[in-house]
Amino acid sequence: MLRRAIRFLRDRSGVAAVEFALIAPVLILMYLGLAEVTMALMAERRAGHATAVVADLVAQDTLTNRAELSDTFAIAEEILSPFAASGMSARVTAIRADDKGSPKVVWSHGKGLTAFAKGSTVSDVPAGLLEPYDTLIMSEMNYSFNSAVKYALPDAMVFREKYYLRPRKMDMVNCTDC
Alpha helices (runs of H) in the chain, residue ranges in sequence order: 2-10, 15-59, 66-80
User: What is the pTM for the complete model shown?
Assistant: 0.82
Q: Is the per-residue pLDDT at 10 higher than 90?
A: no
CA distance 88 to 143: 5
CA distance 84 to 138: 24
Nearest Cα neighbor of 34 from 125, 163, 147 is: 147
pLDDT of residue 177: 92
pLDDT (average), residues 117-126 = 92
Domain coordinates of the chain in residue numbers? 15-172
Q: Any idea how long the chain is?
A: 178
CA distance 136 to 11: 76
